[in-house]
Amino acid sequence: MKKHNFSAGPSVLNREVIENTAKAVLDINGSGLSLMEISHRGKDFQAIMDEAVALFKELLGIPEGYQVLFLGGGASLQFCMVPYNILNKKAAYLETGVWAKKALKEAKLFGEVNVVASSADKNFNYIPKGFTIPTDVDYFHITTNNTIYGTEIHEDYNSPVPLVADMSSDIFSRPVDVSKYALIYGGAQKNLGPAGVTFVVVREDILGKVERTIPTMMNYKTHIDEGSMFNTPPCLPIYTCLETLRWLKRLGGVKKMYEMNKAKAAILYNEIDRNSLFVGTAEKDSRSLMNICFVMKDEYKELEEEFQKYASSKGMVGLKGHRSVGGFRASTYNALPAESVQALVDCMKEFENMHKK
What does the alpha-carbon distance between residue 341 and residue 307 come to, in Å, rounded to a whole number?
A: 16
Determine if residue 9 is left, alpha or beta; phi over 0 gives left, psi from -120 to 50 gives alpha, anything else beta.
left
Question: Order of strands across the sheet with 66-71?
Answer: 66-71, 198-203, 183-187, 163-166, 140-143, 90-95, 112-118
Among candidate residues 138, 166, 170, 264, the one labeled active-site is 166
27 is catalytic: no
CA 255 to chain CA centroid, nearest Å? 17
Among candidate residues 99, 138, 170, 264, the one labeled active-site is 99
Contacts of 176 (CB under 8 A, 6+ apart): 60, 156, 167, 184, 254
349 is catalytic: no
What does the alpha-carbon distance between residue 350 and residue 183 come to, in Å, rounded to a whole number?
A: 45
Among candidate residues 138, 170, 190, 264, the one labeled active-site is 190
What does the alpha-carbon distance between residue 310 and residue 277 come to, in Å, rounded to a whole number?
A: 14
In this structure, the number of other CB atoms found within 10 A of the CB of residue 255 comes to 10
44 is catalytic: no
Contact 139, 112 (CB under 8 A): no
What does the alpha-carbon distance between residue 229 and residue 45 come to, in Å, rounded to a whole number?
A: 11
Catalytic (active-site) positions = 99, 166, 190
